[in-house]
Amino acid sequence: MERTTTWCNVVVRAVDDDTTIVEAFDPDVMLGLSDAEALRLVADDAKQRLGAVLAALAA
C-alpha cells in the first residue's frame, strides 16, 4: 500500500492575554516538492479544510 503524507503546519501564538494568532502553512507550497497527482488531491483537500477552520476561528 502506497501512502502519501503531507504536513500542514499550523502555528498558534498568544500575543497577549486577549489575542491569539493562528496561522497555517499553504499546502500548495508542498506541491513544489513533487509532481504526484495524489499529492495535488491531498493538498487541495487540506487547503479547503484549513481555510474553513481559519474562517470559523475568525468569525
Is 2 a residue whose pLDDT tops 70? no
pLDDT-derived band of residue 26, with 50, 70 and 90 as boundaries? confident
Q: Kindly state the average pLDDT of the residues 28-57.
A: 86
pLDDT value of position 1? 45
Instruction: For residue 33, give the amino acid letter.
Output: L
pLDDT band for position 58 (cuts 50, 70, 90): confident
8-15 average pLDDT score: 82
Among residues 38, 42, 56, 37, the alpha carbon closest in space to that of 6 is found at 42
pTM reported for the whole predicted model: 0.66
Cα–Cα dist 26/16, whole Å: 25
The secondary structure of residue 42, as a DSSP letter, is: H
Q: Where are the chain's structural domains?
A: 10-58
